[in-house]
Structure 1
Amino acid sequence: MGDDGRPWRVIVDPEVPADVADLFHRHWRALSRIRAGWRPEPRPGGSRPLVRALRIGGAISALSLVGVLLRDAGGKLFYVFALIVVVVLIGQLVLREPLEPEGQEEAGDELYQQARWHEGRYLLPEDFDHGAGPLLDRTRQAVGHILGSRVNAMGMLDDVRNSVMLPAQEWEIARLLAKLSALRTEHHDLAHGGSTPEVAAAMAPLERALAASEAAVVARVEALERYARHVSEADRALRAHDQIELLRARLPRYEELLAESGADAGSVPEIGRLAEDADQLERALRDSVRSAHEAFRHLDG
């Protein structure tokens, strides 16, 4: 799933230029076809204007011929009606240029060239098996939550490093999951075809290698999720801190009301604790942000 809850379509190496990455995201369906061997048909240079000129010339000649024949026949009313019909047909068959297909062809050419140039630097859903998909979803959700947090937007979590390091972490995890998926598929196909005890014994270390690699990737995902949880706690503390600060700013109005009404201020001591609560929440906010920084450093290696 994407950061917005919708299924993701393509993951692009953050080192790929932004305009190319946007092209891949907009034409993700075509990337699968390119992978399968599709390529845009070559177009002869300059053929479209020539064809258009020939069509218009032929249509004008046909119109002139029809006009001469009808005029000689003497049917003026029929001549006018036929002339209108021919003009409409010319507009439909000649002057209507399908600009969208031409744009699609140009986009297809560019997409094909960029996909070939950046082969291996984008990943599609078919690159991941059933075991890798959920891990990738967890990774993307954690990264999206961190980058979308309020404390990150306020610069309390080193937002500059987050904006660089977290997409790189997401790409690296996705790349490892895709590689793991490919090896697991090959391994499963070989094992499913049947094997002798000798081959099974030889495959056992490879299975352990796959399991160890998956565990290492899972550890990376869990580290991201721990960081995301610390960020959530910092966001929660920041919201509570802001609310208490707002209440503390209104405290004089409450004290004024108590004095004017003659009420015993000691009967509502909770009001006087707002300052203490704000101080405690400020310390909690600092602690949660510090914990998030520690989780970030652990994630950063």
Structure 2
Amino acid sequence: MWAIYGSRVNRLKMLDDIANDIILPREVWEIAHLLLTQSLLAKRQQEARRAVLATAEFEAVLAPQEAALRRSIEGTMERVVIVEEYARRVQEADAALLAQEMLGDNDQYRNLLARTDDVEGMRQLTYQAVAASEVLAKSVRDAIEVGQMLIPPEVSP
């Protein structure tokens, strides 16, 4: 979560505050709680398997429980992937922000090239500035979009 909370785009309030302050901590807590519950149930299943002979009745009870545990683990992993994707997008937005800030140095490079009569190099710096600005805007939009995936869908009654 440090990748998100420690990011410059977060400190500069370029991301969704609700997603970061409310939804993300709740999602991480829920993932942790799910992992704990899954671990306890898996341990219980292992202990039960060691304790008795695997009869048809025993398997009839345990098989659906094991299937439910597997589905829960898969669902939890999907939730982890979404949080990781959000963190990655935030890091990309930070990189794009830094790139845009580095564009501020382009005037110095243009002056340097002008003093050496490099017109093509000056053109390239100008194109680079436009491209980097577009990348920053897209990176921030992407991070916000992935952050919205943390919001659970509305449950219909």
Q: Identical aligned pairs, as a percentage?
A: 34
Give, in whole Å, the separation in 2 of the partners of 1:206 and 1:255: 70
Q: Is the 8 A contact 2:9 2:94 kept in 1?
A: yes
Deviations 1:160-208 (A, max 9, x none): 5412222111111111111111111111100121333221232111100
Amino acid at match of 1:264: D
Counterpart residue number, 1:206: 65
Residue of structure 2 aligned with 1:243, choices 99, 102, 108: 102
Counterpart residue number, 1:278: 129
Deviations 1:93-147 (A, max 9, x none): xxxxxxxxxxxxxxxxxxxxxxxxxxxxxxxxxxxxxxxxxxxxxxxxxx22111
Give, in whole Å, the separation in 1 of the partners of 2:2 and 2:113: 44
Q: Is the 8 A contact 1:147 1:163 kept in 2?
A: no
Q: Which runs of 5 or more residues in structure 2 are unaligned?
A: 153-157
User: How many residue pairs get matched?
Assistant: 151
Counterpart residue number, 1:224: 83
Q: Secondary structure at the match of 2:48?
A: helix
Larger Rg: 1
TM-score, normalised to structure 1's length? 0.47
Q: Secondary structure at the match of 1:156?
A: coil
* Structure 1 residue 210: Cα displacement: 0.5
Counterpart residue number, 1:82: none
Counterpart residue number, 1:165: 23
Residue of structure 1 aligned with 2:11, choices 153, 168, 187: 153
Q: Which runs of 5 or more residues in structure 1 are unaligned?
A: 1-142
Cα RMSD (Å): 1.8
Note the 1:1-301 alignment, pairs <5 A.
143-198=1-56, 199-245=58-104, 247-251=105-109, 253-254=111-112, 258=115, 263-266=116-119, 269-301=120-152
* Structure 1 residue 255: Cα displacement: 5.6
Amino acid at match of 2:35: L
Give, in whole Å, the separation in 2 of the partners of 1:272 and 1:195: 78
Give, in whole Å, the separation in 2 of the partners of 1:272 and 1:196: 75
Amino acid at match of 1:180: Q
Amino acid at match of 1:222: V
* Structure 1 residue 297: Cα displacement: 1.0
Give, in whole Å, the separation in 1 of the partners of 2:45 and 2:71: 15
Q: Is the 8 A contact 1:223 1:299 kept in 2?
A: yes
Ranges of 4+ aligned residues in structure 1 off by more than 3 Å: 263-266
Greater share of helix: 2
Counterpart residue number, 1:49: none
